[in-house]
Copies of this chain bind each other. A is one copy, B any other.
């Protein structure tokens, strides 16, 4: 039975939860498909995550491999393929806890970087799991800065082989997933040397384990890098190469080839490589970043209407904690952010699809914009959502800190997204470089990409809002964000120029502006997010009450951003102190309004209890009962600890005398 405190929240929804879910899914037919996939996975006991919070790294790994192998069977049974529309729901359904994700990256890298001949050789082997692939790029000493990789691949003309080596410890491959214990093959990125000359980093297919008995191949040292904050199921590995020889054909050579005589030939555009990174960064936003936040919001909001604490009105029953303004102010902006970034993701997907079709027509014009946006958005969305999950965790007090709440593992996992696929600060600076370039071009009257045309427009000097209700107009707050972004970009561009004109070297000047450049890049992405949210709401038909609540959320997201970054808007007086008070008033006024729909808003994310795997967040709100039931399953309760016989008993029976 559903806890009445949670049930009552659902009776007063101002909109149809089912319709909102369908809209988020992109149509009711997708909701049906997603639910069917989730149902198929969750009803299969092999995919159970029931004891996940109690498992060791070894147990998690074993479970992840078991699931990955079983998934092949399941897909066969269900008639799903890697290209069928169901595929994208599988990852959500298994909650990401599955092996062989790098096997897919292995395959993609061959598809993108390999010749037709290489694709014809390796892809069928990989598809049929006659090998297990990995992707060995990152080293102990180098991450985001790929040019610095130290692994070497020297071409030996006499044998027509590349000789791969790990020349020093910092060159050891470190972190690649599926490599520590599973992979038989991997793509190794190494500095190519021919006749003593370095040609930069290139990819090589290297076998690391025997296909017969899984023993390490000659010259290979490999293993697991040990415990991490999360991803216990993944065998992130290390790899050392000692004179490992691979045939000339194993260098992926769609874009460059070493000919038998050692001649190095480059062909085609390298720009497509950027596109690969862009693809990965955009593709991770939905599943790895926005979805964990949606889960965290679901857990925290449901718990906050079940948890009662202290009295709000003297003499009354203890209040639901979501009735406190401070709790609303913690959680509701995070719910708004989950929606905001869901829509940003749609925006990026569209942009990406357009870019992709242009590229297929050999038009690479959109690449810089796509690269800049995907970098900046990867950075701000991962950063924002990580903080948001932490806020949700802390908003649940002590119980949020229990693994059984599900929140700690959401947090420790999403945190990694700030680090992988490009360190966020470096990504923001890449976006900033693009913005500064566009800003200069705009000033010079040159054409600039659509997402930055606002840099060319002349703007009002002051915000025209006259009362707090004006701040519920999307054009008022969108323009405020636009103004703020322009100001930060233009003032940093000016500082950069001043420094250079004062005689400081260009690279020093750049370094001295990087704190502000990163701020400018964030401001740009924040502006686009607000603008896109507002436009999304505008396009909605006013049916089933969805538009009204989405408008509230959009307002909340925008005003929360102004309230929390007040300095950026007040700095040049675009928003005055008095107007900031109006922002604050409107912002705080929105909280109790949205609070009424808080539970329906998270219900619409449509996570099953199994998917949430949270004692606090289940649909029925039986929080305390479930915490108690789950705790009893803990291995700490399965045996009498040897500590009693060894230490406690002697202590209690003899006291200090024998010590």
Contacts and interface: CB of A to CB of B under 8 A. Distances in A.
A588 B182 CA distance: 47
Given A130-B655, A214-B644, A642-B62, A511 B394 contact: no
Given A130-B652, A226-B54, A625-B169, A76 B659 contact: yes
Interface stretch (A105-113, A140-148, A255-263, A549-557): A140-148
A22 interface: no
A415 to B, nearest CB: 7
A563 to B, nearest CB: 8
B61 A641 contact: yes
Contact of A314 (B72, B507, B628): B507
B309 A180 contact: no
A580 B571 contact: yes
A415 B401 contact: yes
Interface in A143-186: 143-145, 147-148, 169-170, 172, 174-175, 180-182, 184
A501 interface: no
A631 B226 contact: yes
A616 to B, nearest CB: 11
Given A403-B226, A566-B567, A635 B56 contact: yes
Interface stretch (A32-40, A289-297, A321-329, A597-605): A321-329
A324 to B, nearest CB: 6
Interface string A532-549: 000000000000000000
A94 interface: no
Nearest to A517: B326
A47 to B, nearest CB: 14
Top 10 A-B pairs, shortest CB-CB distance: A566-B567, A226-B634, A224-B636, A567-B567, A227-B403, A570-B570, A65-B643, A229-B408, A226-B631, A73-B659
Interface string A512-535: 111110100000000000000000
Given A145-B309, A312-B507, A651-B129, A76 B402 contact: no
Contacts of A30: none
Interface of A: 53-54, 56-58, 61-62, 65-66, 68-69, 72-73, 76, 128-132, 138, 140-145, 147-148, 169-170, 172, 174-175, 180-182, 184, 211, 214, 223-229, 235, 238, 307-310, 312-314, 318, 324-327, 329-330, 390, 394, 397-398, 400-404, 408, 412, 415-416, 418-420, 423, 425, 429, 505, 507-508, 511-516, 518, 565-573, 577, 580, 584, 588, 624-625, 627-628, 630-637, 639-644, 646-652, 655-656, 659
Contact of A567 (B314, B580, B635): B580
Given A140-B624, A225-B631, A402-B225, A647 B69 contact: yes
Contacts of A650: 69
Contacts of A419: 394, 397-398, 400-401
Contacts of A223: 631-632, 636-637
B652 A132 contact: yes
A474 to B, nearest CB: 22
25 contacts: A57-B634, A57-B635, A129-B651, A169-B624, A169-B625, A182-B643, A224-B637, A225-B402, A225-B627, A226-B403, A228-B403, A229-B412, A235-B636, A238-B628, A313-B508, A325-B512, A326-B429, A326-B515, A329-B515, A394-B415, A515-B588, A565-B567, A566-B567, A566-B568, A566-B570
B57 A646 contact: no
- Copies held by the complex: 2
A570 B578 CA distance: 12
A487 to B, nearest CB: 10
Contacts of A397: 143-144, 419, 423
B511 A631 contact: no
A330 B515 CA distance: 10
A76 B656 contact: yes
B145 A641 contact: no
A577 B569 CA distance: 10
Given A318-B148, A397-B419, A211 B652 contact: yes
A226 B404 contact: yes
A573 B577 contact: yes
Contacts of A400: 419
B580 A326 contact: no
Contacts of A56: 56, 635
A131 B652 contact: yes
A398 B566 contact: no
B577 A309 contact: no
A600 B416 CA distance: 30
Contacts of A314: 507
Given A169-B624, A227-B54, A403-B228, A72 B656 contact: yes
A394 B415 CA distance: 8
B398 A175 contact: yes
A644 B213 CA distance: 9
A234 to B, nearest CB: 11
Given A148-B310, A214-B644, A129 B224 contact: no
Contact of A402 (B66, B227, B318, B632): B227
Contacts of A518: 326
Nearest to A240: B628
